[in-house]
Copies of this chain bind each other. A is one copy, B any other.
């Protein structure tokens, strides 16, 4: 088992009502890889600049994430600056510098090509397609965002047709398909190619759509949310990492997908408890198991015969 992720490796400067951090390690590939590393072997593909030091690499390698395909190129690492007000469902972008990402041409090593699972983090859809074309993964998943729906819709639709699973915010699924109803939007998305569609809903949780069934999991109401940056990628990392870890053959059965949704929710819930990667970096396996049980307690209710009136 192995899981390759392509996406941004970044420095993030973030301000929320609960504090701020300057140039901390971030990016979709980083958040994803840390989350997935609890379940499977992860290989990260992406470019970094001269300002990316060994201490940053160590955050990944300490979790035994393979960093051989992280390409060091002259220039500066991708940079994002943003802030959140009291509604932490909404990220306000103040600055984005593509830097070394501007000329990124992904080249996967043989080991990364051969990983049986692939995650295409939120980057330009044509780049996602070029990575997909190199990979021999039997299960590929893709994340994207409103920017690409607006500016590169045809490429994005082509990229979606080439993957097995799409993860997207619910508002973006509606935007992609032009259907205000989420179930209809998910079905229309499945007609584009993917057999598995996950609608992410921020603090409200996530919904899984397959041909067979629909599964919904609420978010865990947390007393203390400090920084939601990377929560969606942590969700994807928990989700796909768990699937890759339990995988037998090419099959993902319904029950495994549901447990994977719960692990995705678990990782996202930890991610938001502190800035950037801070919480997931210090996460332990026992905390992981305990929070999974907490999600079970949060959502479990018993069968009940209709106690109808006499």
Contact = CB atoms under 8 A, between A and B. Distances in A.
B304 A184 contact: no
Interface residues of A, number: 62
A249 interface: no
- How many chain copies? 2
A302 B221 contact: no
Contacts of A149: none
A176 to B, nearest CB: 15
A306 interface: yes
A225 B258 CA distance: 25
A218 interface: yes
A183 B222 contact: yes
A298 interface: yes
A305 B38 CA distance: 12
15 contacts: A38-B309, A87-B180, A182-B203, A182-B221, A183-B222, A201-B204, A204-B204, A204-B205, A205-B216, A213-B297, A216-B219, A255-B301, A259-B301, A261-B301, A296-B301
A161 interface: no
B308 A285 contact: yes
A214 B222 CA distance: 10
Given A39-B309, A304-B259, A307-B39, A218 B221 contact: no
Given A213-B297, A218-B217, A223-B183, A246 B302 contact: no
Interface string A270-293: 000000000000000100110011
A29 interface: no
A308 B38 contact: yes
B296 A303 contact: yes
Contact of A223 (B181, B221, B246, B288): B181
A40 interface: yes
Contacts of A242: 304, 307
Given A288-B306, A289-B305, A299-B299, A216 B207 contact: no
Contacts of A223: 181, 183-184
Contacts of A205: 204, 216, 218
A215 interface: yes
